[in-house]
Amino acid sequence: MKNNKHRSLQSAERQIQANLRQTQQKSSLQAEETAERPGRLALRFSPTAWGKLLYFRDKSDNEIGGFGITEPDDLLFVKEFITVNQEVTVVSVKFDDEAVANYFEDQVDLGRKPEEFARIWLHSHPGDSPEPSATDEDTFERVFGNCEWAVLFVVAQDNKTYAKLSFNVGPGGQVLIPTEIDYSRDFGASDHELWDAEFAANIKAVEWATKCSAEEKRLTRNELCGYALPYDFLDEFEKMEPERPELWNEEGVMTL
């Protein structure tokens, strides 16, 4: 009897060791694959899109907001930065409801799907900190919280960036990702005349009261949460949400 127990323990030990070796081999293979694809999980910009974003940022002392346009097979590569009609202050951006609706219609007419034009929210901060404000976080959760995935991106005045990829499939989660300028892709030249015309048409600065009580600040934060992006935006997402996540394969593994 003792010999049988001893043999069972030895067999179990050998199985455990075999499992550990297999796990180590898989880990090594995954590490090699990751090394072969450096910077794969990153928010990337074409030089033209990046240049336009900074150009808009530097034309105002206020926040500027817009959307990233991507390719259907490369959803974290921003090839174009587009703005819509908005009211801006030093601490807020308000997109016009009708402008957002028109933006959606125009993109659909171009044959694009929501994941190509309505998942990456880009905006600037006039200061040196790219960290999202509480209002930014509240707005992002309110507007994009039911999407399979979305990106909150902020660029500060000194070019520091913040990019958070949020996904709501399965257990869900959030991860900070780096920002890169991708010079390996085709990109066009800057067009200051066209950008100036878009800025003049879409960006309207409004006065911001800098002095207010603590209670007024609390109420203002609640108002701004519904200020940056209109609530109708949620309805548009619900109407256009695809049937399955675009960043996951059939086995439920993220494929960026």
Distance CA 243, CA 240 (A): 9
Note down pLDDT in tens along the chain; length 256 residues: 545 545 544 554 555 455 444 434 433 333 344 334 444 689 999 999 999 999 999 999 999 999 999 999 999 999 999 999 999 999 889 999 899 999 999 999 999 999 999 999 999 999 999 999 988 998 898 888 888 899 999 999 999 999 999 988 777 899 999 999 999 988 889 999 999 999 999 999 998 655 444 444 444 444 444 445 654 555 555 555 544 445 444 444 444 4
Per DSSP, 72 falls in state T
In a domain, 29, yes or no: no
Positive or negative: CA dihedral 127, 156, 68, 193: positive
Give the global pTM: 0.71
The answer for residues whose C-beta is within 8 angstroms of residue 137's C-beta and 6 or more apart is 152
Q: Residue 31 domain-assigned?
A: no
Which is nearest to 149 in space by CA: 121, 110, 130, 122?
121
Q: What is the CATH number of the domain that holds 225?
A: 3.40.140.10
Which ranges in the chain belong to alpha helices (H)? Answer: 2-36, 47-58, 97-109, 114-117, 134-144, 192-202, 214-225, 232-240
Q: Is residue 38 part of a domain?
A: no
In a domain, 11, yes or no: no
The total number of structural domains in the chain stands at 1
DSSP 132: P
